[in-house]
Amino acid sequence: MARMKFLCDSERCIECNACVTACKNEHEVPWGINRRRVVTLDDGVPGEKSISVACMHCSDAPCQAVCPVDCFYTTEDGVVLHDKDLCIGCGYCFYACPFGAPQYPQEGAFGARGKMDKCTFCAGGPETDNSPEELEKYGRNRLAEGKLPLCAEMCSTKALLAGDGNIVSELFRNRVVRREGRPEVWGWNTAYKD
């Protein structure tokens, strides 16, 4: 069974933010919500590193563990999704997530959070694949169309990889061997312990 994973090669990421733009455009993500962000470590210092961060679709997802209404589920592909009809916007998942993935549109008065929104690995939600309801709530379902997440597909330097963990890790391993460096698989030890 495939287990979909993201991997960002910090040696290749040039902080162009195209993945962020592609994600927002593809899913028509509203203002104030970024399902994906590019984080730069030691910005301005020689040797700075950038990584593209979104939901890592953890094997044992902490968001899923803490959700008081159990609105999360994991697909057969290993993608962690949630049902917005069940979400109460409590924010527990935001505190549990080591990657800061869950986002809230802040609808309503008195700072009330709306339904949580996060990266879906371009797999939509529980609604019928590519239905108008799914598009409105979760964005486009590219996986159902046989495509991979747009952020990774259009990455010009191929820093961001998305796909079956075995294929992604093999590709990355070959890269590391070629450049005779040490692997820096950022986030993998946290997200994919098994």
Partner 1 sequence: MKYLLLIISLSGLSACYQDSDVVFHQAGVYKGQVDLHNVTAADHEALLAARFNQVQTDR
SS in 3 state form for 107-162?
A: CCCCCCCCCCECCCCCECCCCCCCCHHHHHHHCCECHHHCCCCHHHHCCCCCCEEE
The single residue among 39, 171, 176, 184 that binds partner 1, judged by CB under 8 A, is 171
Does position 73 bind partner 1 by CB under 8 A?
yes
CA 86 from chain centre, in angstroms, equals 21
Assigned token pair, 88: 């109460």
Piece in contact with partner 1 (CB under 8 A), picked from 13-21, 54-62, 102-110, 167-175: 167-175
Is residue 46 a contact point for partner 1 (CB under 8 A)?
A: no
The label of the residue with tokens 């949580």 reads 116
Among 62, 96, 114, 164, binds partner 1 (CB under 8 A): 164
State which of positions 75-114 bind partner 1 (CB under 8 A): 75-77, 81-83, 85-86
For partner 1, the binding residue among 161, 185, 191, 192 (CB under 8 A) is 161
Can residue 54 be called a binding residue for partner 1 (CB under 8 A)? Answer: no
- Judged by CB under 8 A, the number of residues near partner 1 is 39
Which whole-number Å values give the CA distances from 72 to 4, 93, 96, in the listed order? Answer: 16, 10, 13
Q: Does 72 bind partner 1 (CB under 8 A)?
A: yes
